[in-house]
Amino acid sequence: MEIMSTVHVFVKSLLFVLLCSICEGRESELSYVTCGSLVKLLNTRHNVRLHSHDVKYGSDDANSYWQIRGKPNGSCQRGAAIRCGQAIRITHMKTGRNLHTHHFSSPLSNNQEVSAFGENGEGDDLDVWAVQCDGVHWERDEVVRFKHVGTDVFLSVTGEQYGHPIRGQREVHGMSSPSQHNLWRSMEGVFIQLSQEPLRHDEL
């Protein structure tokens, strides 16, 4: 009887440890930005969100949601944590266009123009950005930079504002050097997790 009681306590303790390990694993997954996640990106220097409009101008906050996707023909498993240095596409949720830049000057700051390009999430090889962060994976509360793979500029804001018809909107552009103007943090959104395989129970 004493042995059975000891075994029972051990099983309960083991179950507790296993459950806690699973919880820690899920908390760890939730701490990263993952492939397929839908996020808002905040420029920490100017406290403004990356934003895009399609045809009609306004201030609808839904225009600030972007999906993190893999580069064309590249592997990006849905729910997998984005690695520091990984090449990604940043796709605008409402318009289906990708964050894009090319060798043209931006109208206000004369830096490199950044735009939204493509249809239904498909554009060209100038839609690809590399995430620059300090660790192994892009952490949700971490400040990161986005470096354009094709032209080596950093996604930036320096404060220039448009007039009518999008008065108050800041110009987003590419800058050749890292600075406080190109620091970004993921804000609220939908963070996709890897699908959990159900535990199998085989009868003896």
Burial of 32 (0-12, 13-18, 19+ CB in 10 A): buried
Q: What is the mean pLDDT of residues 35-39?
A: 96
Is the pLDDT confidence value at 194 over 50?
A: yes
26 or 67, which is more confident: 67
Q: Per-domain residue ranges for the chain?
A: 34-190
Mean pLDDT of 7-16: 36
The region of weakest confidence among 162-166, 167-171, 197-201 is: 197-201
Q: Which residues contact 172 (CB under 8 A, 6 or more apart)?
A: 50, 114, 155, 156, 157
- More reliable by pLDDT, 1 or 92: 92
Structure confidence at residue 126 (pLDDT): 96
Cα distance between residue 81 and residue 33, in whole Å: 6
For the ranges 38-52, 161-175, 184-198, the one whose mean pLDDT is highest: 38-52
CATH of 34-190, one of 3.10.20.30, 2.60.320.10, 2.80.10.50, 2.60.34.30: 2.80.10.50
Mean pLDDT of the chain: 81
